[in-house]
A and B are shown apart, each in its own frame.
Chain A
Amino acid sequence: MDALVQTHNHTPGVSQRAFPIGAPILELDNVSLRFGGVKALTNISFNVLEHEIRAIIGPNGAGKSSMLNVINGVYRPQEGTIKMRGELLTEMTPNRAAEIGISRTFQNIALFKGMTVLDNIMAGCSLRENANFLEIAFQLPRARREETENREKVERIIEFLQIEHIRKTPVKRLPYGLQKRVELGRALAAEPKILLLDEPMAGMNIEEKQDMCRFILDVNDHFGTTVVLIEHDMGVVMDLSDRVVVLDYGKKIGDGPPDEVRNDPEVIKAYLGVAD
């Protein structure tokens, strides 16, 4: 699995990345989340640096999706704080998250199945539109101009993700791997600062995984987008990410660069079990 993707850091003859890793953009401090008596997350603290690819890994039920849902504002943690660029995020909701530049994709694809690829990605732009309901309804100049601008932006995303041939195809007719790509496209249309990807490679074959890895690296490299991703496939995570957080039973058991995490006895124990 080691050769699945070439990471930007190790490609020979290639200079440093265009967007060097910067200051923390997201900081989680002692976050705990409970559903009644069930502890989903317990005292989790970690940060995400600007322009990095940060992975969250862990076995089934470790709390990975809950972690993403907390960042995204779907769940509100009972304890702990989340800061974005040093600013405390209280009263977080998915809408608010989208407004401050957090986009996401879902483990189970959440697209408008009957709409075309183009319309789905266009929908991702709507947040950045200033025209009001009436202007759009009557196609007044501002609404028309915004639509043209958005269309061009969306076409660039379509070119970037190489999905020109399915531009006008309803999403429900597409194979799984392409639907995942369309979902990434919709998330990108909102021009996010932080992109949350919930198992972007689940259920894919090796070629689809390679493609997806390349797109994630390209997004990060080209737009400087900070990426937080959850992934099961260890090989993918190790090749793709700059730093990894490991969760197990709602607790953080490891944090650091992939090589370090890979050799951490705690992590090996959680993932592979240890023969005493």
Chain B
Amino acid sequence: MNTIPKFLLHNQQKNPHSPAIWEKKLGIWHQLSWAQLADEVRVVAAVLLLEGVKRGDYVGLLGENRPHLFSAMAAIQWIGGVVVPLYTDTNAQELVKPIQNVNISFVFVENQEQVDKLLSLMPQCPNLRRVVFDDELGMRHYKQSQLISYDALLSKGRHHLAEVSAQLDSELQRGSGIDPAALFFSSGTTGSALGVVQTHEALIERVQAAIKSEGIGSNDTSLAYLPPAWLAQHVFAYVIPMVSGSCVCCPESSETMLYDMREIGPTIFLAPPRVLEALLTQVSIRINDTGGMKRNIYDACMAVAKRVGTKIASGDSVSFTDRMKYSLGDMVIYGPLRDVLGMGRVRKAYCLGESIGPDLLLFYRSLGINLKQVYGSVEMGLFATLQERDPGLSNSLGKPAPGLELRLSPEGEVFLRGTNQFSGYHQDAESTRMRTDADGWFNTGDVGWVNEQGELHLFGRKQDIGSLSNGGYFAPKAIENKLKFSIYINEAVLVGKNRDAVCALVDIDADAAGNWADKQGLAYTGFTDLVALDEVSRLIGEVITETNAELANDPKSMHLQIQRFILLPKRLDVDDGEVTRLRKVRREAILQRYASLIEALYDGSTVGYFNAPVRHEDGSADRISAKIKIGNAQIFTTSPSQKAA
């Protein structure tokens, strides 16, 4: 089997009545079996043929994680089309480029909101001839000839299914592994997003290796809650279930994800660090809200977990008393907590998208959740490395996947090369040349090292790493991760490259800091007001001082202590270009945008002024201006632990 639709039919024959997809609708979970899914896919594929979609055509998808989206994807691939999942929160103008570049004429969309976007683009994208919408709410008034509902599409397909039946079978057989399966856009942390084509073979081989190494099978369940346009989510929600015959669950909406996860109890869980941070923040806020006794039990148990939890998980020797304490803790705290987090049945949890702080990783591991880091990129595919051991080293990413070679440059830059990987960016030879050399090695842009077992470890992005003006080494990511482990800090961006000191821009967590301010009896009206409170600035100052103390413990990181910081007057926002659609920080953009505040951090001022336009999700513009005090953190000249001794 060399294409994904062939796997679909294989599952249909092997386990016709096993669940392929669970979907929560109107408060109730509904099951879609492999047989039902395959039938639906065949009908949609029939309509696509009737509508004139040809082998090699690119078909856009602007939808949430819904069974209809997955059926559409399989149907497109059935007849040899290429799926192009797009982010649903993109505004209309940002969609023009992908639609024009890839020449998309046929799009499956979620609802009225997406239809409105596409209708407004029709003059700029004359080739756009068909828009299929799933949710019919509010659509009755739309009479444009390009529009058709998914249900109408299905009934049209059923009506004509017999006419194209033979053609459907032959199209399926014609599909081969080297056909392009999907086109994804890179996350765009460093520039505009670039399109990358993944072939069936590339997706399937990698997933097969992962399935083998991780033991994923038809009894596994995962939850599809991240944007379907993200390669990792596409692999987890679509490719893995198809290839392994496992089941994927669609939550009601992104807001209900936590409740739905608790109900369904997935066995495989995929999360970028920001989701793990947000879950931890929620738990911490709720623990802070409870009274003395419960909190004491929680703190005591978590201290035990932190001390011995990971050792027990990796089978190291632990004293009998500690084992007893840990099992008691598992009964009263860890077990129930795993359950509340919806991770009660999780066998394998994967963290990817960005490097995760060791504190955060250890928190989940000490609870008994088997959380591993995975490495991958749009260009080289997901599971570029695999960690065969459970639970594996905490900060390693594992060994390169079968068929993939890894090479480090003298400066530690990570290069990857694979047999059927990455044939270049879509219609962008210039960018392709910049990232690949003549021998086909792809420059990941990451810097790392390889341990004795051949496992990859990462320092961070090459372009973020540099030196201070006094020559000291500067690698911000690890320190930022330390800061972010505080529940009061949502995101931190360190400045210091080519400067005489390290300073921080801090995006506070409005929920946690707001909850804290409420408890202190502090009055504030909104985010900007909360940030301006001296007490909040002092609170963040304490977190930074703690981090400085840790940094001072090691002579190698002594010079990286954070001297001054400033709290950002607004949350980092996708629509202002400060973070990517996956909420990854776009460092260059932030340094530019907050240049006035950064100058104030270094020129001896006590306050900084910020005045800049902001954009709302609907595309409308506004302006924000604020005056923000600069906070000073405590600096340690000798190691604090030595002083104590």
Given A152-B26, A155-B27: A164 and B256 within 8 A (CB)? Answer: yes
Question: Which A residue sits closest to B28, measured CB to CB?
Answer: A155
Chain B residues positioned under 8 Å from A167 (CB to CB)? 27
Shortest CB-to-CB span from B527 to chain A, Å, is: 13
- Grouping DSSP codes into helix (H, G, I), strand (E, B) and loop, the B interface class, with mixed when no group exceeds half, is loop
- Distance of A172 Cα from B27 Cα, bound (Å): 22
- Expressed in whole angstroms, the Cα–Cα distance for A8 and B26 within the complex equals 27
Which of B134-142, B394-402, B409-417 makes up part of the contact surface?
B134-142
For the complex formed, measure the closest distance between the CB of B555 and the CB atoms of chain A, giving whole angstroms. Answer: 49
Asked if B602 is at the interface (CB within 8 A of a chain A CB), the reply is no
Identify the closest chain A residue to B616 (Cβ). Answer: A207
User: Are A159 and B26 within 8 A (Cβ)?
Assistant: yes
CA–CA, A152 and B259, complex, Å = 19
In chain B between 131 and 152, which residues have their CB closer than 8 angstroms to a CB of chain A?
137-138, 140-144
Which residues of chain B from 169 to 206 have any CB-CB distance to chain A below 8 Å in the complex?
Answer: none
Contacts of A13 in B (CB 8 A): 119, 142-144
Task: Give me the 6 closest cross-chain CB pairs, A-B, nearest first.
Answer: A165-B255, A155-B26, A14-B141, A165-B256, A155-B27, A164-B252
Instruction: Report yes or no: B26 in contact with A156, Cβ–Cβ below 8 A.
Output: yes
Q: Does B253 contact A (CB under 8 A)?
A: yes
* Interface size bracket, B side: 10 to 19
- Beta-carbon nearest neighbor of B24 in chain A: A164
* A15 in contact with B141 (CB, 8 Å): yes
Q: Is the CB of A164 within 8 A of B140?
A: no
User: Whose C-beta in chain B lies nearest to the C-beta of A167?
Assistant: B27
Interface string of B353-364 (1 = CB under 8 A from A): 000000000000
Does A18 sit within 8 A of B, measured CB to CB?
Answer: yes
A155 — which chain B residues lie within 8 A by C-beta?
26-28
Is A11 located at the chain interface by the 8 A CB criterion? yes
- CA A168 to CA B260, docked complex, whole Å: 12
8 A-B pairs with C-beta separation under 8 A: A13-B142, A14-B142, A156-B26, A158-B27, A164-B256, A165-B252, A165-B255, A165-B256
> Which of the residues A151, A164, A218, A221 comes within 8 Å of B253, measured between beta carbons?
A164
- Taking a contact as CB atoms under 8 Å apart, the answer to whether A218 and B141 are in contact is no
User: B25-49 interface mask toward A, CB cutoff 8 Å, 1 = contact, 0 = none?
Assistant: 0111000000000000000000000
Which A residue's beta carbon lies closest to that of B258?
A165
> Which residue, B28, B137, B141, B143, has most C-beta atoms of chain A within 10 A?
B141
Q: Which A residues are within 8 Å of any B CB, using their own CB?
A: 8, 11, 13-15, 17-18, 151-152, 155-156, 158-160, 162, 164-165, 167-168, 218, 221-222
Report the bound CA distance from A221 to B137 in whole Å.
Answer: 10
Query: Closest Cβ of chain A: how far from B340's Cβ, in Å?
Result: 14
B26 to chain A, nearest CB (A): 4
Hey, which chain A residues are within 8 Å of B138, CB to CB?
218, 221-222
Known: A152-B26, A167-B27, A221-B138. 18 other contacts (CB 8 A): A8-B141, A14-B141, A14-B142, A18-B140, A18-B141, A155-B28, A156-B26, A158-B26, A159-B26, A160-B137, A162-B253, A164-B253, A164-B255, A165-B252, A165-B255, A165-B256, A168-B259, A218-B138
- Distance A152 CA – B255 CA, assembled complex (angstroms): 21
In the bound complex, residues from chain A placing their C-beta under 8 Å from that of B141 are 8, 11, 14-15, 17-18
Residue of B nearest to A156 (CB): B26
Which residues of A have CB within 8 Å of B26? 152, 155-156, 158-159
- Measured CB to CB, the nearest residue on chain B to A210 is B618
- Nearest CB of chain B from residue A252's CB, rounded to whole Å: 33
Chain A min CB distance to B378 (Å)? 31
Instruction: Kindly list chain B residues whose C-beta atoms are within 8 Å of the C-beta of A11.
Output: 141
Within 8 A of A (CB), among B335-365: none
Name the distance in Å between A47's Cβ and chain B's nearest Cβ. 27
Give Cα distance in the complex from A167 to B28, angstroms: 12
Docked pose: A48 CA to B140 CA in angstroms: 25
In the complex the two chains form, is B259's CB within 8 Å of A165's CB? yes
The answer for the CA separation of A159 and B138 in the assembled complex, in Å, is 13
In the complex, what distance in Å separates the CA atom of A15 from the CA atom of B141? 5
B271 to chain A, nearest CB (A): 19
Closest to B27 in A: A155
Closest B residue to A118 using CB positions: B27
| Min CB–CB distance B294 → chain A (angstroms) | 19
Please indicate the chain B residues that have their CB under 8 angstroms from the CB of A152 in the complex.
26
In angstroms, Cα B256 to Cα A222, docked, is 25
How far does the alpha carbon of A129 sit from the alpha carbon of B28 in the complex, in Å? 23
**Nearest CB in chain A to that of B143: its residue:** A15
In the bound complex, CA of A8 to CA of B138 (Å): 11
A151 to B255, CA, bound (A): 21
Residues of B within 8 A of A165 (CB): 252-253, 255-256, 259
In Å, the complex CA distance between A156 and B27 comes to 9
Q: Distance (Å) between the CB of A39 and the closest chain B CB? A: 41
Query: Chain B residues near A15 (CB, 8 Å)?
Result: 141, 143
Rounded to whole Å, the gap between the CB of A136 and the closest CB of chain B is 21
B252: chain A residues within 8 A (beta carbon): 164-165
Provide the bound-state CA to CA distance between A17 and B140, in Å.
9
Give every chain B residue within 8 A of A159 (Cβ-Cβ). Answer: 26
| B107, chain A: closest CB distance, angstroms | 17
CB within 8 Å of A: which of B239-285? 252-253, 255-256, 259
Kindly provide the distance from the CB of B484 to the nearest chain A CB, expressed in whole angstroms.
25
List the A side residues contacting B144 at CB < 8 Å: 13
Q: How far is the CA of A172 from the CA of B28 in the complex (A)?
A: 25
* CA–CA, A252 and B387, complex, Å: 77
How many Å lie between the Cα of A15 and that of B140 in the bound state? 9
In the assembled complex, the CB of B285 is this many whole angstroms from the nearest CB of chain A, namely: 14
- Closest CB-CB distance, A150 to chain B, in whole Å? 12
A16 and chain B: residue at smallest CB distance: B141
Distance in angstroms between the alpha carbons of A160 and B253 in the assembled complex: 13
Identity of the chain A residue whose Cβ is nearest the Cβ of B140 in the assembled complex: A18
- Residues in chain B near residue A222, CB distance under 8 A: 137-138
Give the residues in chain A near B255, CB-CB below 8 Å: 164-165
**Which of B27, B140, B253 has the most chain A CB within a 10 Å cutoff?**
B27
Residue in B closest to A205 when the chains form the complex, CB atoms:
B526
Give the docked Cα–Cα distance between A168 and B259 (Å): 10
Give the CA-CA distance A122 to B141 in the complex, in Å.
31
- Write out the residue numbers on chain B whose beta carbons fall within 8 Å of the beta carbon of A8: 141
- Scoring B26, B28, B142, B259 by chain A CB atoms within 10 A of each residue's CB, the highest score goes to B26
